[in-house]
């Protein structure tokens, strides 16, 4: 059992349905519209096919939901298509599924945000010029909410989801009861190249309508985000999602045929149906705003799903380990930031136009669906449990339908942007493989699978760069004497002019007065090739190497720096210590130690004298 403190941040069935199912629910706003758009080129006869096509899609939805409930049961640690494909079809197939899911998650954010803003601008055309800015603002908001932890999202988004579903139900029931639009709807756009009803048209409508199915896999991928017992709660959320989504899709399709609704420029189909069913009064505004909010928030599905997938890939060594790190509030910060940046770039690139993004969208989704169901087919075949024939038959149906949809979509939309996805998925797979190979090599060199030799001490020498005699030098040399078998102070003489030499001579004189019992070595300032220079790093690095080489001793560089007591004092100190430390880290094998000397008066001494007389001014080279 997990302790309550961590569990508090996890999802229940209902908050999980809201947080992870938003994408699927919100697709009510663009799925039916996509079907109508495809069918409308065949006029009223085409529109008349809306209900049959929707029924097929809802049938497919049922298959997918049942399939994913089985996936949740079989893989309670989440991972969805990736895990299923990897475990049943091999690592490569798993990585292809993962790549398609990554693409899908990123595009889902972009499409949802763009569609949300499109719904807003169709209600308030005055906002049309600010489309891209609105998209980026919504994206920023969703990202910020998710960086504060996924449960905040779940609770925060439950109310809008409820309002959206509720207002759609009211809209559908009132419309069915009325039996026709309350007033004539605006005229539909003229069809430029009218077509007849045929198998290609129906296939295109089916493929378009499948965009309503995106997101049903998110719950299965994010099972570990659920509160215990996670498996039960996730299955319940998945079933609830299927039920609600299917009902809404069928209801909207019936209304479309009843109202003879078709595409209208700058208006969404949903806004037309609302206008026909409940008029353009206050209720209409509620429906529109609920749609806007929900579409904007639908992007949240990806923020729930992608980090879990990325963490799984990181655990398998296919993505950098940073994607597997959770911060406080159980948040995968790296994934969230990368997701926000990539989808922001897509929104900028597409200028926030849904029509540009949708052709890119569905391909990755259906590749993932197909691979997942092919994996499940293999799973049933391997297990051959009591009901394996019916389970396998469902999977065969799923593979056939989603595979056909993927092929139709790719062929139809190839020149409209699908080529990008056809390019990106293999590139992502190559990236995963390259990362895995690098980790394998690193693991080998680090001997992580063996017991390395036990550590052994060696002789060590500490090199301390000094710029003057002060308490900073005292403190640095004290630390150095405590650390090594030998200590050397070095001073780099900058420049060859007489004043530079005089300063060095004066330092040597004061050093002898001070008697720190540590030798002081003056180094000429030279660059990497031994030419005179005015930078410190190469001179000190050269000295460190010369100390290390003959004796084979371990060399330590100790850099003392003054730690300012206020942030603004940072500007008073040149960053030479940091520069030298960084140079030595990059160009030598020395262990680089940094001592921060805090600006506190010496304890047990005379109270500090607060005059600002000339002599106590810190000399220019010292800090």
How many Å apart are CA 73 and CA 473, to the nearest integer?
66
Out of 49, 117, 472, 490, the residue judged to bind a second copy by CB under 8 A? 472
Question: In the bound complex, what is the minimum distance in angstroms from residue 414's beta carbon to a second copy?
Answer: 31
Residues paired with residue 264 on neighbouring β-strands, in sequence order: 267
Q: Which is nearer to a second copy, 155 or 596 (CB)?
A: 596
327 binds a second copy (CB under 8 A): yes
List, in order, residues 6 or more apart from 118 with CB less than 8 Å away.
131, 268, 352, 354
- Span 494-523, contacts to a second copy by CB under 8 A: 495-498, 510, 513-518
Q: Supply the minimum distance, in Å, between the C-beta of residue 74 and a second copy.
A: 20
Q: Work out whether 5 is an interface residue with a second copy (CB under 8 A).
A: yes
Q: Among candidates 101, 60, 381, which has minimal Cα distance to 222?
A: 101
Among the listed ranges 40-48, 295-303, 406-414, 606-614, the one in contact with a second copy (CB under 8 A) is 606-614
User: 443 vs 10, 396, 427, 448, CA distance in Å?
Assistant: 34, 41, 24, 6
456 binds a second copy (CB under 8 A): yes
Measured in degrees and rounded to the nearest 5, phi and psi for residue 244 equal -65, -45
3-class secondary-structure state, position 11:
strand
Q: Does 440 sit near a second copy (CB under 8 A)?
A: yes
Residue whose CB is less far from a second copy, 345 or 440: 440
Residue 567 DSSP class: G
C-alpha R_g of the chain: 33
Among 384, 441, 519, 521, binds a second copy (CB under 8 A): 441
Among 76, 535, 545, 548, the residue binding a second copy under the rule CB under 8 A is 535
Residue where the block lists tokens 């990806």: 302
Q: What is the dihedral of CA 273, 277, 282, 283, to 10 degrees?
A: -90
Q: In this complex, which beta carbon is closest to a second copy, that of residue 57 or of residue 584?
A: 584
Of these, 473, 520, 544, 580, which contacts a second copy (CB under 8 A)? Answer: 473
Q: Is 470 in the site for a second copy (CB under 8 A)?
A: yes
CB 19 within 8 A of CB 150: yes
**DSSP of 347-400:** HHHHTT-HHHHHHHHHHHHHHHHHHHHHHHHHHHHHH--TTHHHHHHHHHHHHH
Applying CB under 8 A, the span of 38-46, 350-358, 372-380, 476-484 interacting with a second copy comes to 476-484
Instruction: Locate 606 and state its tokens.
Output: 């005379």
Does residue 438 interact with a second copy by CB under 8 A?
Answer: yes
> Which member of 49, 533, 539, 580 binds a second copy (CB under 8 A)?
533
- Helix then strand then coil, in percent of the chain rounded to 5, is 70, 5, 25
Q: How far is CA 486 from the centre of its chain?
A: 49
Minimum CB separation of residue 311 from a second copy in Å reads 9
178 lies in the site for a second copy, by CB under 8 A: no
By CB under 8 A, name the one of 130, 250, 263, 527 that touches a second copy: 527
d(CA 121, CA 309): 34
CB of 107 to a second copy, least distance (A): 23
Pick the stretch among 142-150, 173-181, 255-263, 320-328 that binds a second copy (CB under 8 A). Answer: 320-328
Out of 179, 455, 550, 552, which residue is the one contacting a second copy (CB under 8 A)? 455
Q: For residues 92 and 575, which CB has a smaller minimum distance to a second copy in the complex?
A: 575
| Shorter beta-carbon distance to a second copy: residue 241 or 472 | 472
> For residues 219 and 415, what is the distance between their CA atoms, to the nearest angstrom?
32
Q: Does 479 bind a second copy (CB under 8 A)?
A: yes
Distance from C-alpha of 348 to C-alpha of 39, rounded to nearest angstrom:
30
Strand 591-598 and strand 520-524: the pairing is unpaired
Member of 52, 279, 320, 524 binding a second copy (CB under 8 A): 320
Q: Interaction with a second copy in 562-601: which residues (CB under 8 A)?
A: 562, 569, 571-576, 585, 589, 591-596, 598-601
Min CB(307)–a second copy separation in Å: 14
DSSP symbol at 528: T
Instruction: Give me the least distance between CB of 500 and a second copy, in Å please.
Output: 10
Asked if residue 458 binds a second copy (CB under 8 A), the reply is yes
Distance CA 363, CA 102 (A): 12
Quickly list H helices, 124-198.
Answer: 131-147, 150-178
How many residues bind a second copy (CB under 8 A)? The answer is: 113
Q: Would you say 9 or 260 has its CB closer to a second copy?
A: 9
By CB under 8 A, tell whether 449 contacts a second copy. Answer: yes
């Amino acid at each position: 059992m997990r302790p309550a403190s961590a569990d508090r941040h996890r999802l229940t069935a209902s908050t999980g349905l809201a947080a992870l199912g938003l994408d699927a629910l919100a697709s009510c706003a663009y799925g039916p519209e996509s079907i109508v758009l495809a069918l409308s080129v065949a006029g009223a006869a085409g529109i008349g096919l809306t209900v049959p096509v929707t029924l097929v899609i809802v049938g497919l939805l049922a298959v997918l939901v049942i399939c994913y409930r089985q996936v949740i049961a079989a893989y309670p640690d989440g991972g969805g298509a990736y895990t299923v494909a990897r475990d049943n079809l091999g690592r490569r197939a798993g990585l292809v599924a993962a790549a398609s899911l990554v693409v899908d998650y990123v595009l889902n954010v972009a499409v949802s945000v763009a569609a949300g803003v499109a719904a807003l601008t169709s209600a308030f055309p005055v906002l049309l010029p600010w489309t891209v800015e609105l998209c980026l603002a919504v994206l920023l908001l969703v990202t910020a909410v998710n960086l504060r932890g996924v449960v905040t999202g779940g609770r925060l988004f439950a109310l809008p989801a409820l309002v959206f579903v509720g207002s759609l139900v009211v809209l559908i029931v009132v419309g069915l009861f009325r039996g026709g639009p309350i007033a004539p709807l605006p005229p539909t756009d003229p069809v430029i190249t009218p077509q007849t009803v045929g198998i290609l048209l129906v296939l295109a409508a089916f493929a378009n309508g499948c965009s309503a199915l995106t997101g049903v896999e998110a719950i299965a991928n994010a099972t570990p985000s659920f509160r215990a017992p996670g498996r039960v709660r996730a299955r319940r959320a998945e079933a609830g999602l299927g039920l609600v989504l299917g009902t809404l899709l069928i209801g909207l399709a019936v209304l479309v045929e009843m109202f003879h609704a078709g595409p209208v420029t700058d208006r969404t189909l949903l806004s037309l149906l609302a206008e026909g069913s409940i008029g353009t009064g206050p209720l209409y505004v509620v429906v529109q705003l609920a749609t806007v909010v929900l579409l904007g928030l639908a992007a949240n599905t990806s923020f729930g799903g992608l980090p879990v997938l990325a963490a799984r890939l990181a655990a398998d060594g296919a993505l950098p380990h940073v994607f597997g790190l959770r911060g406080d509030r159980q948040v995968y910060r790296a994934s969230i930031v990368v997701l926000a940046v990539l989808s922001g770039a897509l929104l900028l690139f597409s200028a926030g136009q849904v029509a540009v993004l949708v052709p890119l969208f569905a391909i990755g989704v259906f590749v993932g669906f197909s691979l997942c169901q092919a994996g499940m087919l293999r799973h049933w075949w391997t297990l051959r449990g009591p009901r394996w024939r019916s389970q396998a038959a469902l999977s065969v149906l799923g593979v056939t339908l989603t595979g056909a949809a993927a092929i139709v979509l790719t062929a139809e939309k190839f020149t409209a942007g699908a080529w990008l996805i056809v390019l990106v998925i293999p590139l992502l797979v190559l990236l995963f493989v390259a990362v895995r190979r690098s980790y394998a090599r690193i693991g080998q060199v680090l001997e992580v699978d063996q017991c390395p030799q036990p550590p052994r001490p060696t002789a060590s020498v500490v090199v301390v760069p000094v710029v003057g005699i002060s308490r900073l030098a005292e403190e640095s040399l004290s630390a150095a004497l405590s650390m090594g078998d030998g200590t050397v102070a070095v001073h780099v003489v900058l420049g060859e002019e007489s004043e530079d030499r005089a300063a060095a001579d004066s330092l040597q004189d004061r050093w002898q007065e001070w008697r720190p019992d540590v030798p002081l070595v003056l180094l000429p300032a030279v660059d990497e090739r031994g030419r005179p220079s005015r930078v410190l790093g190469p001179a000190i690095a050269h000295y460190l190497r010369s100390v290390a080489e003959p004796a084979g001793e371990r060399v330590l560089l100790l850099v003392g720096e003054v730690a300012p007591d206020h942030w603004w004092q940072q500007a008073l100190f040149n960053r030479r210590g940091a520069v030298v430390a960084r140079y030595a880290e990059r160009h030598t094998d020395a262990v680089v130690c940094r001592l921060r000397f805090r600006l506190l008066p010496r304890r047990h001494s005379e109270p500090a004298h607060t005059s600002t007389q000339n002599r106590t001014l810190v000399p220019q080279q010292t800090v």
